[in-house]
Structure 1
Amino acid sequence: MFKKPLADLKTSAPLRSSDRRKLRQRVLQSYLALPPEEGDGLVPDGLQSQKFSTHLDDPGVVYLSPEGDPLWFTVGKGSEELIPTGKLQFSTFMYTLWKRPDLLPFLSTPAPVVPKLIGGADLMIPGDQLVSITQYHRDALGPPLAVGRMAVSSDTLRESEEVDVKGKAVFVLHTWKDALWDMGPSKKADPPAPRPIQVSSETEESAQPSGNTDTQEGTNTGENVPESVPDDGGNELSTAADGAAAPEGNGASTATLTPEDVSHCLRDALLQAIGMSLADVPPSTFPISASTFWSSYVLPARPAQALGAYGLTDASAIDVKHSTFKNVKSFLKASAKEGLLKLKETKGDVVVTAVYPQHPAVAGKRPHRTIGDIEAKAKKAEDREQKEKEAEEKRKGEIHVAELWKPFGTTVPLFVAAEKDTSELYTIADIKNIVNGYISARGLINANDQQYINVGTDQALANAVSIKGEDTPEFMKRDDVLKRVRANMQTWHEIRVEGRDTVRKKGEVKPISVLVKIRQGRKACTLVTGYEPFGLQADDLAEELRKVCASSTSVSPLHGKPNALEVMVQGKQIKAVTDLLIARGMPKKWIQCEDQSEQKKKK
């Protein structure tokens, strides 16, 4: 859940005393094994709260120690469940998750699996119990390295020693070294050493390695080692979970999805659709054909958690043909008999004429994350990625033009006095900062009117703003000072295009000219000049304009400038030429258009 940086991290705020007391009570109620006197240690004074969103857009709240380490967190809209982090041990109080490894029931996993958990994998073998995950050590209890929610019941875990049960065991919420861990100042701390434990001979016998296991990626991770796991009642369970691995076999494995399981998932989807999507639709929405009702409402509402619970890579297995009903019509008829909806049969088919959101099964249904949500998010991410790729491709061909100035003549003493390099090229923003800093450092702001600068009292500044043949005034507005300084500097320009060498030349850069003229009496033509400094070629432009405009084009030397070429295209083609230049990466600012044919008509 926190394998990537948090998407939207708000500013932390101190927790009020009343809220801290409520949080303390919630901790003690959630973890009944804790004596009341330990509440202040786990919810210390000075606690802070901070809202966040994960990279999957799940909202949450994290509670931070006074030092800034995350101690508890909740995930999910409106969630009240407090989940301990691995950093409880860094609070200034003695009771912590690493110091109190019995705070949660735990599962053990071999060392090679731990990096996979930190990388975002879930623990494989389908429960709702919060558990910690430790590294397996013979005759020792390792520190918790991950916190998650059980995907299977404790009975299923017991059965996994004797029956080939496959799929996920734990949905991992938080791990050592993930983005949540890295929030606090103690992020570089290493886990404590394993604690020796006493085990009975019977437990030792059950803890022997029992074969090899494979990860979801199909790579062998080592031995499949059962470890005792206390359940809610303090009993000990045994599991063979080894991280992102199934108990036996090669390659990715999944739990068996029975027709009854599929029917249960589809009924959950129907309840969700009725309670969420269809509850507020206008009556005119009905009747809805069975196929539309199924594809637009039921299928998108299938529970997303079923994918993880059964190790499915897609939702195709959760389909009515794999259920006990075998077809949509039978499923809808059974749902109508239950009172969830109303059907009408027409020409051998059925249509849905009404749904009943007030039905107890719908009203009591807890909303779940749907496959439709996942698909919509995936589509959104795909569209965003596509747009980013298109923008990246566009940026690669963009022509970046920068106007630069170099200290020259009367402005050199000013830059020397300001301790700036007189051989450097400066942007307009650089010049503004240098001049403003110089004015402030020497106290040249007029005391009577602060928009004026006392130019006459500083020789370097007076020289920098002087104009030949004119007297330099004693006072000048700040904007006028900046304009004059820039006017007395030497003009340069820089043109950058990705994949090509940067061009820096002395002189002012001029925009590309796109000019419409009347030639040979009444024929209009469009002339393009001044494109060479931007790396554009005459022959390429002429060929592309010939195709785009479906007109004849030509290239000829520009009159009076033998080293420059003029591209001519027949007709009034200002828009076509402009669009082509912009597509080639030319900023619109550097395209100057003029239609002299219209001016001639007016005359």
Structure 2
Amino acid sequence: MFKKPLSNLKTSAPLRSSDRRKLKQRIASTYAISSEDGDILVPDGILSLKFSTYLDEPGVAYLSPEGDPIWFTLGKGSDELIPTIYTLWKKQDILPFLSTPAAVIPVLVGGADLMIPGVVHHTPSLAEGQLVAIRQYTKENGSDVLSPPLAVGRMALPSDQLRDGGKEKGKAVYVVHAWKDHLWEMGSKADVPEGSTLQQPNDGDENAEEPAELATPPPKSPSPTPALSYTPQETTQLLLKSLLQAISTTLSSLPASSLPIPSTLLYTNHILPSRPAFPTLVLPPSALSPSLTSTTEEEDKPPHIDPTEISIKSSTHKSLSSFLKSTEKQGLLTLKSPPKHSNSPDTLITSINASHPLVVDHQPFVTVGALEKTAARKAAREEREKEEEKRGRGEVGVRELWKPYLGSLALFEGLGGSKTALYTLPEIRALLNTYIASKNLVNQNDNAYINLDDLLHSCVSSSSKTKGSKPSKAGGEELEAPTIKFMKRDELAKSVTEKMQSWYEIRVEGRETVCKKGPLKPIQVTVKVRQGRKACTLIVGFEPFLVVEAEEMAEELRKVCAGATSVSPITGKPGVEVLVQGKQGKAVTEYLVGKGIPKNWIQVSGK
């Protein structure tokens, strides 16, 4: 929602004491917080700021005296107060939560929603549409660690469908606001607080707080499942598999000019993105019992291990240079020490052996980089769809129409069409093509031309004469115009429309469709120079498009162009013209397109 900058920002204004008290009461009743917490989350000196999102959705943000956004509302007339990341860092338990691996957080920050496979834990009994926080899940020293909330969203489905395996694909949370988005960027950009250990249930304490559930039910076992992690030897094996995956995909496709590659770039740009997204499917950890790897039932799935745990520091090598030297001994890479005069300590990779037996026999798997790219493409596609939907909702629909008239009446009767209907140009061409095919009128010498029979000739012959021209004379006798025997297909359609009556249709969402007789002319935006070097921009012909009125346009362009505007009648013609001070052709065009008028119906002229 805030992946693009906010627009239409109004000047922030401090809340009155009475309004602050009402705001505090609303938050206390909605989120069941104490009066002391209310003073922290709704401090004295709180400000309100009106804004619009990039989807033109209005909202109100409430800012702390330091300028951090702490609450906001979305939607016209909405009174639902949503806490920001800054507020959730102050009191992390006011919203129920879901957790997701660290690799998913950058995707959420980029504007994507949280998908069902990305959920690791969640608070019990969540309802569809309920506000929730999203936290990052990691494993440190055998303990499950949750970060402070890094995103806020709404549940896309009830939480029992996450647990019972009712869905394997689809969205779990529609993200509304995330860490590092443009709403968060308005504040102080404080560092993320330290995480906390996920509390495990205590069977001896009946009053213990209900713990978060695993999104996937744990395997059926009489004893509790131990925390799983890879040994250093297994991490080394996975790093080697990641390198083999990188060589067989990205590295083998690099041009020769890309070499040599610094070792740090090889690690960060190729090995890390090539780590398996689901490591336990590639290499089950030695501590994993056979019952946990069973997939005989749909709900029995291997437990998840965060792929970010696969790193050089967790391997037997402990350093990148040691790992690369071991791969060089195996014949996968060729290394070169950095020059003595170089400031960079990075080892260089000078060649890659893509034909090595280990690379040839490597079995590919789904990688972390592939999942991130898929999520990024999906987010970009959804954003494009939203933009297209937005444009489609607001764009003015314009159709040029023609009606049979005088010389074309007989033609349309012969074509099998209606003499009273309104036709678009494609419909006219379709009728002509059907008639041409039925009469076999395509010229045998040149298929681009159509032979004119009596019906077609009678329609187009009069339109082929220049208006106002007189017949030529020779010896006192008038000479007849030469008979037209054939014509190109496009010229024929154009000649037929010239003998028809022009109409146009304007469609605007939420209004009745307007259909009027006469040709529709583009809006004229003319830049003129008056009184020496003083320039002005005149806009005329906008009335038929229904979405702008003269006074409204003048007022809005005055703000957009930061110049004087005026409205006056057009001398000797119906309608009015809007004048804008300065050379504002581009600004006026962008304004009219923003109102939904197609750009091809805006004509800019002058200097």
| Length-normalised TM-score, structure 1 | 0.48
| Length-normalised TM-score, structure 2 | 0.48
